[in-house]
Structures are given as C-alpha cells and as structure tokens.
Structure 1
C-alpha cells in the first residue's frame, strides 16, 4: 500500500508539473531568451517559452514538493554546476529562440496506445536542437542518472549547445530512470529514440546513417550496451542501425558492488539480469563502433564503483578487439562536468566530433573502394 501511495503521489506531481507547459503551449505565449548562469530556476521555469517548449527541468528534485521548494530559488549555476552553467544557459536561450520561431522542441517517443500499455513510457521523449547545416549527421545525447536524479539540463542542454556551435543537430534524450526503468526500459528508450529520429530524418533535416551517441556516466553504460551486437541488449535486438561512433564522457563500465542495490531500487522483481548487471567491456567485439572515451583521475563517483573496473577496462577491451578509438585519462576532470569547461577535459567534444567524422569518412572510402 505504501508503494501505491508513493506512485500515486508521483503521478499527481508529474501531472501538476506539466500543467504550466500545457497552458503555455495552448496560449502561444513567448518568453525572452535572457537566461544567464545566475538566473533563478523559478524564473527559468516560469519563462513561457521554456514551458511551451516542454523541456523537463526538474532534474535534481526527487519528485516531492519539498524538494521542489528547496531548489526553485537556486540559480542555474547552483542547480547544474560551474562547469556546465555557461553552456546550459546558452543552450536554454537557443532553445527559446528556436521555440519562438515556431520550431517544435519536444517529441514523445511512444504512441498513446503504447503508453496506455506501459504508462512509464510517458516519460520518454527527445528535445530537438537543430544545427546550422541541414542534411548533416545527428548526435543523440544521453545524460547520466543516479536513480532519482537525471541530467537533461546539466549534461544534455550544455552538450547540445556545444554541438550546435559546431554546426550539428542533436537530440537530448529523456529516458526512464529509477523505479520506472524496469525491464531494461532505458535500452528500449534509446532504441526508440534512434528509430524515431531516423524515420523522421527528412523532417529533422538530418542523415539517418552514421549517427553518433554522446553519453555520460550511467548513460554511457546504457549507450555502450546498445552499441553492441548482442542479440538481447544491443541495437540488433531492437531492429535499429548501429551508431557511427560512441562519444563517451566518464562512462560507467561496471556498477560493481552497486549492482544489488540498483536491483532492489530499480527492478526488485526481475526474473533475470537487467542492463545494470552487465559490463560494457564484456560486449565489445571487433564489430563494435569506433569509440572516443575519457575519465578523470579525480573522478570520485567512479572511484566509489572501483575505478580499476571502469575506463581502463573498456580501453583494454577496445585494444583487444581492434576497435578504432581514442582514450584520455585526465588529471583534473571530475564527474558531472559535461563539456568540461575549466577542466582538463575542456574541448573534448570538438576532438571527439572530429574523430567521429574521420571514422565515418574512412568507412565511406572503404565502401566506395
């Protein structure tokens, strides 16, 4: 009964949170693109264009009114962090300008019938950040999560801004986490996002082939499994094409001793292993897509999951299987820094995109030959 009351309260809260956005969409109201890193979250959320765009901005709260009150008066900088605030503010302003010009930002990934069958699918959606070069390749951005905390703004919007500056169209994924992530839901959401974008490639003005997946932290673990040729966990299992490259920032390879904890919190009734039980390194084969990955020596989060079981193990698997890749192990690159301004990792996205382009160009040349 207690679980039912919690779920009912969460559903009510989600409904209440979506009401302002629906009202803004219905009225056609527009807000100014004047967000800075020091803008309070309450002001950002009351901006008619942010509400109308439909971006999910409650990424720190744990779905309780108390948490919402706690965070509403904090600034964007306090809400995300110093490394991502500047890019996040610019990304939000770009989104506002896009919305004000008539561009749809939010796209649901499942039909009404599919959501009725599995209500948690209501959460899954993508946010569209069009680039300046129509017809180019696209990037799917997957932020990390910590059971109740997601990173659509800190890692998603900030990364979208960086990619937009480089000319690329990208889509920030909001996927199911926590007790909504049962039955490998995150993998289903990633595959559905790829399917939706590629099936609507002409509408989004992108190429459906050779897309990149840029992912962080636990999102990197999800992306790593999705990119594999596993018949049960990878892209083949969902009937979508393989990424042209994986671009990973501080990815989790092995949840190590946290696996039973995640099992109890996410999928306590599972009758077999779930996505968080698997290690990315175990699913790297010679057919794996090219990989750019990095993490920092001062990454406390990965240290809690036993650092020797993380990035270095992925690196060894890539070398063993002859997968084209670039690996960086930075001195100063903590967790949760996204594009990494002010750290050793700053500029990594530019280098990673160049690597992706070189790999797809080499693939095209081989095919032509």
Structure 2
C-alpha cells in the first residue's frame, strides 16, 4: 500500500494550547464498526476530546468489508503511522510520541499495529489505548461461533489457523508499547474476556498495561458521556496518557521507537 493511501483527517491543537519545543503528542483514532463500517461517534468527537487534553489527533478511515479484508486494514494502519511520522514536524507534532486509540474492531486494529510481531519499528506506535477491543478472533465473528456468514475481517476464507494469526492475545510481542485497556463486564457484543486475555498476555511479558473493567455500559458507547460508571474511562485514560507520554516514561520501554 502506498503511504498516501492512508485516509487521515487531521485535528490540530487549538492555537492557545501550549506545546513543547519538540512538538505536541498525537494520537491516530481508529473507530469501530465490526470491520463493516466506521462508527462516526468514535471518530471526530474522540479527536476533539484528545485536542482538549493537549494532543493533536488524526482520524483514520481504514478499509472495511465486504470489499476489503485482512490485511487491507492493517496495511492501511501501517501506512497511516508512517505518514503521520513523516509529516509530524510540519504539523507541530512530536514524531516520537504518536500513539493509537481504537474502539471495538478499531481496537483490534490498533492492538495489531501496536503488538503485532511483523510491525516495523517506524510503524509501531509509542502507546496504545484500546476501548472495548475485539482482540481475540478465536471468539469473534460468525465463523468462530460456528455460524453461517462471512468473517468481517478475514472474509469467506476464514479458518481456525487464520483466526489464531490475528488473535492479539496469542501474537503480541514484548515490544508492545505501554497500553491502556477498558471494557464493560456486561458487553454482550465483544465479551470482557477479550480485554482480560490480552492484559494477561501483556503483563506476562512485562509490558506496561493498565486495565479498567466497568460493571455496566455495554458496547459501542464511545466517549460514554453521561454513562455511569463507564463514563469514568475518559478521566482515567487522561491521567494515564499524561503519565505515559513523558519522555522519561517512554524511554524506559524498549518497544518505543
């Protein structure tokens, strides 16, 4: 995939927001939608929230089925990170502090980019935020459930071997950057086990990981404004981001380019 093929919409910091001489930290936002569409409430509003926290942001429009299956979304995410870093200086962004934030299927994509064994150094983000992520393809989609239907990520050729190859809790590597994960225990669309199994894998590899599980909230709630108690995720994530993006914190983890 050509670098220019990554459809990124940039949301710069307001002029009155202070930033360091090295540039602002930034996040590539990956909306969810089950790899069949992109949820609008998990895109632009999230970028605007990040702007208020002092982060520049891009929203990535990655390809989805039924026209595009794996590895098209991952190739697009890889191109997006290369593109963001190559353009960072001209946009007032620090190329060493660009992370990813994804919801649901977008959380799977963000996790695959951050934790995948084949991610190149210039493609791996500095940190990752995963929101109710569908990280295990062994338990997601009609093929995994033994039902009729096309796998939204792998297409009609889905097999157990292919599903294992895109299950992040099985393939994550120690180079995975610091990661924040949140989920709701009553999520009936993407079960909380997705978050638990990936957290366990990262913790076993000594990757810095923080997990928040809220008792209620369901799935697909985005910023969850007005939702109790899951709406607290934004405050917890904001605190984690500020701790994580400090140069000293990032320099302690070998997975950060």
Q: Indicate the residue corresponding to 2:146 in structure 1.
A: none
Task: State how far apart, in whole Å, the 1-side matches of 2:100 and 2:94 are.
Answer: 14
Does the Cα contact within 8 Å between 2:98 and 2:125 map onto a contact in 1? Answer: yes
Report deviation, 1:110.
Answer: 5.1
Task: State how far apart, in whole Å, the 2-side matches of 1:348 and 1:257 are.
Answer: 24
Q: Indicate the residue corresponding to 1:127 in structure 2.
A: 9
1:257/1:184 CA distance change after superposition, 3 Å: same
- Alpha-carbon deviations, 1:232-276, whole Å to 9, x = none? xxx21xx62421211111011223152634448853358996578
The answer to whether residue 65 in structure 2 is matched with residue 157 in structure 1 is: no
Match of 2:241 among 331, 353, 356: 356
Q: Indicate the residue corresponding to 1:284 in structure 2.
A: 172
1:229/1:258 CA distance change after superposition, 3 Å: closer
Does the Cα contact within 8 Å between 1:139 and 1:212 map onto a contact in 2? Answer: yes
Secondary structure at the aligned position of 1:221 is classed as helix
The answer to whether residue 138 in structure 2 is matched with residue 138 in structure 1 is: no
Does the Cα contact within 8 Å between 1:286 and 1:321 map onto a contact in 2? Answer: yes
Does the Cα contact within 8 Å between 2:164 and 2:170 map onto a contact in 1? Answer: no
TM-score normalised according to structure 2 size: 0.81
Aligned positions of 1:160-309 closer than 5 A:
160-231=47-118, 235-236=119-120, 240-255=122-137, 256=139, 258=141, 260=143, 261-263=149-151, 267-268=155-156, 278-303=166-191, 307-308=192-193
Structure 1 unmatched ranges of 5 or more? 1-108, 112-120
1:327/1:177 CA distance change after superposition, 3 Å: same
Task: State how far apart, in whole Å, the 2-side matches of 1:275 and 1:145 are.
Answer: 18
Task: State how far apart, in whole Å, the 2-side matches of 1:160 and 1:128 are.
Answer: 9
- Alpha-carbon deviations, 1:80-135, whole Å to 9, x = none? xxxxxxxxxxxxxxxxxxxxxxxxxxxxx755xxxxxxxxx6xx511111113452
Task: State how far apart, in whole Å, the 2-side matches of 1:277 and 1:180 are.
Answer: 21
Report deviation, 1:363.
Answer: 3.4
Report deviation, 1:191.
Answer: 0.9
The answer to whether residue 248 in structure 2 is matched with residue 330 in structure 1 is: no
Report deviation, 1:143.
Answer: 0.7
How big is the alpha-carbon RMSD for the aligned residues of Structure 1 and Structure 2? 2.7
Which has the larger strand fraction?
2
Does the Cα contact within 8 Å between 1:247 and 1:291 map onto a contact in 2? Answer: yes
- Alpha-carbon deviations, 1:47-79, whole Å to 9, x = none? xxxxxxxxxxxxxxxxxxxxxxxxxxxxxxxxx
Task: State how far apart, in whole Å, the 1-side matches of 2:164 and 2:64 are.
Answer: 11
- Alpha-carbon deviations, 1:18-63, whole Å to 9, x = none? xxxxxxxxxxxxxxxxxxxxxxxxxxxxxxxxxxxxxxxxxxxxxx
- Which deviates the most, 198-207 or 279-288? 279-288
- Alpha-carbon deviations, 1:253-300, whole Å to 9, x = none? 223152634448853358996578521111233322111101112212
Secondary structure at the aligned position of 2:58 is classed as strand
Task: State how far apart, in whole Å, the 2-side matches of 1:229 and 1:264 are.
Answer: 19
Report deviation, 1:197.
Answer: 1.1
Does the Cα contact within 8 Å between 2:117 and 2:173 map onto a contact in 1? Answer: no
Task: State how far apart, in whole Å, the 2-side matches of 1:110 and 1:365 are.
Answer: 27
Which has the larger helix fraction?
1
